[in-house]
Structure formats: C-alpha cells, structure tokens
Chains A and B, each alone.
Chain A
C-alpha cells in the first residue's frame, strides 16, 4: 500500500486527525531546509508538504512568497528539492511527502522526467496550484505512470458541477482550500466549511485535508473536526524566516530551530485525541 493511503488509514483506525506541515523547499537554504525536513516526523507531523519555489506564486500570500524568494536567492532549484527528498528517504520510509508548487518550473524541468525523478526520490504526491483538472492531464498521467498521486484542490467556489470535474481523476487525498483567498489569509468560517465538506463526503471516500488560514494550535484543533487532516503553512514558514542568514550555523539545538519545531509540536499536540 502507498504511504499516503497507509497514513490516512491509520488516522482513521486511531480515530485521530492528521497534521500536514508545509515548508518551502530550500528556505532559507537547502542545507537548513533539509535538516528541518528530517526533524519534522519526530514532532508529530503525519504528512509533509514541500514547496517548490517559484518566482511568481500567484496563489500565495506575502509569507510564502518571501520564503520562495529566500530559497531562490539561495540558489535552490527543483532538482535540489528532489534531492532533499532523496536525503529524507534515507532515514524515513514512512512519512508521505507531497510536493507543492506551480506549473512552469515543472514544465521546464520536463513533465516525464519530473514524474520519474519524483518516483525515484520517494515523493508520494504532487500539488500544482495552477493546473486545474482541465489542464492537468499531462502531469497527472505522467505521475500516474510512476504511481505518484496528483492531489487536487477543492475550494469554497466548487459547486456541484465543479465537484464532479474535480473528483473525476482525483487521487491520494483532496486538499480543501477553506477560504477564497491566498495562503496566510484569515481563517475560514467553521460552519460554512462543514456544510460544504459534508457535500463532498457524499460523493467520495478520498481523505480530505483542510488548509489555508490555519495558524495556531487552537485553529488546528477547531478545523480538524471538519476533515481528516489540517494543513499548516504560513505560521510555520513565518518562524522559519528567523533562520534566514544563519546558514551553516543552524543545528537542531539552535533557538530559532527549536522555535519552529516547538510550534509544530504544539500543533500536533492540539490534534491528539483527548485522553
């Protein structure tokens, strides 16, 4: 069974909600980012999303935009992000890794080569923000041939007709973007999301991860009731920003690193079922 399937299955049997943590690949530099990536599972992260930096991230708010810029300024390429995955997989065969980014760097890298290299590195899923179902065929099929999941997004604007289009061909899990807006914006209204997710549940058995606007352990706990997992990005990346400029000196014990990992620990702690 694939790693993503296994994780969501055990979440269900343990009656627990998962934490999906987002970090930008290569932020603030590849070395520090790799160290951080490797430390995440020990803090209770169930799935890790790694951003593929892009110069023009049209769906991201300032925090993730800056993270991408830091990574690019430090010279991070898509190949470097894949190498982070290779390095991670040397010690960890269980935690699913999902790459998230935009179409242009993937197309420039070569769609088939990207899919092949994802599979070889140990990537489990890919989210390409600017490839809606109408335009994702090439990437989806290439990834599918390598048994890597193309993760699709559902948003508050996805009506019944749209839902059908999205679910047709969706794999892995569904990423529910809980607000109409960009990453790092205000939190969604709980009730609105709940009603929509209920409609989605009626149409699919795929696990649902809820993301966008979830920043604190409280947010995570509140929103976790709605789906199978919550995605936290901007509030983690905001703390990673403090590691910037410390290249080469950052070890696991550095206070800035501890602050990132403690925040993640608090998030996963908030999702533990009440004793």
Chain B
C-alpha cells in the first residue's frame, strides 16, 4: 500500500480495471464472494453501457425521487456570514429525505437485471435502511436490513419505518453492535446466501465495483449542479462542501468537478468530541490506511490493526472507514478534508433552521458548520455550494436530548 506520489492526469479515470484507486479500493473479500463480486461488476459494466438502463434510472429519478433537486441561493445565510454567496443543493427534498435513494434506485434496477430475488443492506442511522426498504417495496423484493443493536435502540422511528415498508430488521449484537458490525453481519449473510441475494451497499465503500457504482449513481447530484449553475449564473461554482461518513453524497457532488482544478472541494468529516480526544469518526484526519469490509482505505484503528469504534452525534457519519476514492483524493490533496466536532454541528443545525427555515440532518449540519467558518472571509462574488444531503426530521430527538429538551 505504498502511496503513489505522482498525481494522475485525470481524476476521473479511476478506478483501474481491478477496482484500485491508486493503492486503495480493490476486492478484499472471502473467496466465496469473489465469483459474485465479479458477476456484479460484469452486470454493472453492461448496464452502464446500456441506454435503456439509464432511461429507467432517469424515469425513477424524475418521477419517484423528484429530481432534479433544486439549487437554492441561501441569501439570508450569505448575508448573515457577510462573505461568499452560499447555495444549497437540496437533496434533502428527495423522496425519503436524503440522497441515499439515488443509489438505491440504481442498485435495485441492477439487482432485478441480475435476477436476484432477495436484498440485504446495512444501516447505521437507518436512512440507507429506509431507502433500501422503500425501493424493495416498490420492486416487490423481500429485504433484510442489518442494524447494530445500539442503533436499533436509538433510531426507533426508522426501525418502525423500515418495518412499515415490509423489511425485516435484524438487530446485530456481535462486536460492538454498531454500523461496522452491521456491515460484517451483512457480509456474513451474503456469504451464506450467494445464490439469490444482492447486497445493496449504502455508500461508496465495500469491494469493487461498489465504490465506483455508488459514485456513478450519486454523480447525478454533481451533474445537475453543473447544469443548474451554468444556466443561472454561468461558469462553475468556486467551492463545493459536503459532509463525509462513508462519503457517498460528497463523491456524488465532487466527481463531475474533479478535473476542474479551479473548483475547490472540501469534505467535512465528523469530529465527534474532537479528533485529539480519540472519540470521532474522522477516518482521514484521524485514521490510518488499512483493509476492512472488502476495501483498502483509511480506517480508525489501534497500533495492532484492530478496528476502533467511531463516534459522532450523527449516526449517519458514525463509520470507522471511508470510501477508497476519498482516500486517494486525500493523498493527492485534490480534496481538502477537515473535521467538525459534535458541538459545532449542533449549533449549525439550529442556525440553519433559524436562518433559512430548513431543518438539516445532523450530517449536512457538519458541512454547514464548516461553511460558517470559511464563508465570512471569502469575497462576495465567491460561489460556495453545500450539499444539503438530508433533512433533519429524524434527528429532532437526538438534538432535543442534547439541548436538554424533553419531547
């Protein structure tokens, strides 16, 4: 896993045919899964070149998800900070309330194309689980969602939503009972049911082709933004900001801009109680290269290579790893990665609600906290776009609790 020092000519040509982004990515799975992973890759590459696949995808994107999501000029926030013009890419307005539905539609279309008759998925906060259960209801395919025991308790409304949608929610008590264990358990289930099951991975992580495929589906965010911005303001935005857990919304926003070096890209990791405290979810700024969940990337781990638990106020960012493409972009400094602690995210959550009348999810509240930091010192003709990747209804209980309010 030596770092490739030389920057590539294009950042949009990765991964290579083995699924590697420089030293990251790859297919680090048990042999039992290899034929299946290769089958998923083959099926996806065929689908990617098939116009009818994208016609279907666009149909659901437009009429079911409600795309394109608006590009909104947050004038009050811009005035409040007194610097850059701030825009929100409003993916929180999607059906199911977050960007996760984008790759769920893409993957369910692929799974049906492959003739798979059962879907499994992992979930942390429950957003990806809800989006998966939603498309499984729509396509009439049974699904099992793996969720850490701890998360099942603290995300009861989403557990109920998934069940309403017809999903089976399996509580995972192995390991530490969190998102990483849910992913372990989903992989164990997949090894056991290789014949009929498709693992609908919830972010740009896992073995190749998942990081590439989920990025491709999520790139609809960045593609729309490019067109919307060009139409309304001309040219390109100056800075893009997105929060990062596994990194799916950020990858989707950034990817169409990777080769426009004049566009500054900033990924915001969850700083938890602060990176120096050791209790955080900032895999890049506080982790080390390693191998887990089918990929080589950065992970929170101890000096013996044992994986550490992540901590964040936002269950959606509470993952001890990050997608391999981010790891690669980090090494090449194409994207700047920063972290925002719980407390600042909590303040940004409330500020966004009061300033713009939008209650953001705690995940993009991290991005907004960073916007609040950099916007004041930027000139008024600087166009800064933040991905508002999810709405905050699911978080009101957590936030109330943090603020000492009893609901």
**Interface 9-mer from B27-35, B79-87, B92-100:** B27-35
Interface string of B268-312 (1 = CB under 8 A from A): 000000000000000000001111111000010101111100000
Measured CB to CB, the closest approach of chain A to B48, in angstroms, equals 21
A129 sits at the interface (CB 8 A): yes
Q: Which residue of chain A has its CB nearest to the CB of B35? A: A157
Measured CB to CB, the closest approach of chain B to A184, in angstroms, equals 11
B290 touches A177 (CB 8 A): no
- Docked Cα-Cα span, A60 to B174, in Å, equals 11
- Docked Cα-Cα span, A180 to B33, in Å, equals 9
Query: Chain A residues with Cβ under 8 A from B194's Cβ?
Result: 157, 180
- Docked Cα-Cα span, A57 to B175, in Å, equals 9
B1 sits at the interface (CB 8 A): yes
Measured CB to CB, the closest approach of chain A to B319, in angstroms, equals 12
Interface string of B19-44 (1 = CB under 8 A from A): 00000001111111111100000000
Query: Chain B residues with Cβ under 8 A from A109's Cβ?
Result: 304-305
A158 touches B31 (CB 8 A): yes
Query: Chain A residues with Cβ under 8 A from B34's Cβ?
Result: 132, 134, 157, 162
Among the interface residues A55, A57, A177, A182, which one has the most CB atoms of the partner chain B within 10 A? Answer: A55
- Docked Cα-Cα span, A158 to B33, in Å, equals 9
Query: Chain A residues with Cβ under 8 A from B306's Cβ?
Result: 54-55, 72, 105
B191 touches A181 (CB 8 A): yes
- Docked Cα-Cα span, A62 to B181, in Å, equals 12
A185 touches B192 (CB 8 A): yes
B307 touches A56 (CB 8 A): yes
- Docked Cα-Cα span, A106 to B305, in Å, equals 8
A132 partner, pick from B27, B290, B305, beta carbons under 8 A: B27
B292 touches A56 (CB 8 A): yes
A157 touches B304 (CB 8 A): no
Measured CB to CB, the closest approach of chain B to A269, in angstroms, equals 31
Query: Chain B residues with Cβ under 8 A from A77's Cβ?
Result: 304
B383 sits at the interface (CB 8 A): no
Known contacts A134-B18, A182-B188; is-contact A108 B30 (Cβ 8 Å):
no
B184 sits at the interface (CB 8 A): yes
Measured CB to CB, the closest approach of chain A to B11, in angstroms, equals 23
A182 touches B304 (CB 8 A): no
A157 partner, pick from B32, B292, B294, B305, beta carbons under 8 A: B32
A206 sits at the interface (CB 8 A): no
A191 sits at the interface (CB 8 A): no
Measured CB to CB, the closest approach of chain A to B281, in angstroms, equals 16
Query: Chain B residues with Cβ under 8 A from A69's Cβ?
Result: 175
A104 sits at the interface (CB 8 A): yes
A251 sits at the interface (CB 8 A): no
Interface residues of A in 216-260 (CB under 8 A from B): none
Among the interface residues B30, B35, B174, B306, which one has the most CB atoms of the partner chain A within 10 A? Answer: B30
B305 touches A177 (CB 8 A): no
Query: Chain A residues with Cβ under 8 A from B35's Cβ?
Result: 157-159, 162
Among the interface residues A54, A77, A102, A155, which one has the most CB atoms of the partner chain B within 10 A? Answer: A155
A104 partner, pick from B175, B188, B191, B292, beta carbons under 8 A: B292
A154 touches B174 (CB 8 A): no
Q: Report the contact-size class of chain A (Cβ under 8 Å from the partner).
A: 35 or more
B135 sits at the interface (CB 8 A): no
A59 touches B191 (CB 8 A): yes
Q: Which residue of chain B has its CB nearest to the CB of A153? A: B31
B180 sits at the interface (CB 8 A): yes
B187 partner, pick from A58, A153, A158, A177, beta carbons under 8 A: A58
- Docked Cα-Cα span, A65 to B173, in Å, equals 12
B31 touches A132 (CB 8 A): yes
A108 touches B294 (CB 8 A): no
Among the interface residues B175, B187, B291, B305, which one has the most CB atoms of the partner chain A within 10 A? Answer: B305
A105 touches B304 (CB 8 A): yes
Known contacts A65-B174, A155-B31; is-contact A103 B26 (Cβ 8 Å):
no
Query: Chain B residues with Cβ under 8 A from A181's Cβ?
Result: 32, 191-192
| 25 chain-A/chain-B pairs, Cβ below 8 angstroms | A54-B305, A54-B306, A56-B293, A58-B184, A59-B188, A59-B191, A65-B174, A103-B28, A104-B292, A105-B306, A108-B301, A109-B304, A130-B29, A130-B30, A132-B34, A134-B34, A152-B31, A155-B31, A156-B32, A157-B31, A157-B32, A157-B34, A157-B194, A166-B31, A180-B192
- 18 A-B pairs besides A157-B194, A182-B188, A182-B192 with CB distance below 8 A are A54-B305, A57-B184, A58-B188, A61-B188, A72-B306, A104-B301, A105-B304, A107-B1, A107-B305, A130-B291, A135-B28, A153-B30, A153-B32, A155-B30, A157-B32, A157-B36, A158-B35, A185-B192
Residues of A near any B CB (own CB < 8 A): 54-62, 65, 69, 72, 77-78, 102-109, 129-132, 134-135, 152-159, 162, 166, 177, 180-182, 185
Residues of B near any A CB (own CB < 8 A): 1, 18, 26-36, 174-175, 180-181, 184, 187-188, 191-195, 288-294, 299, 301, 303-307
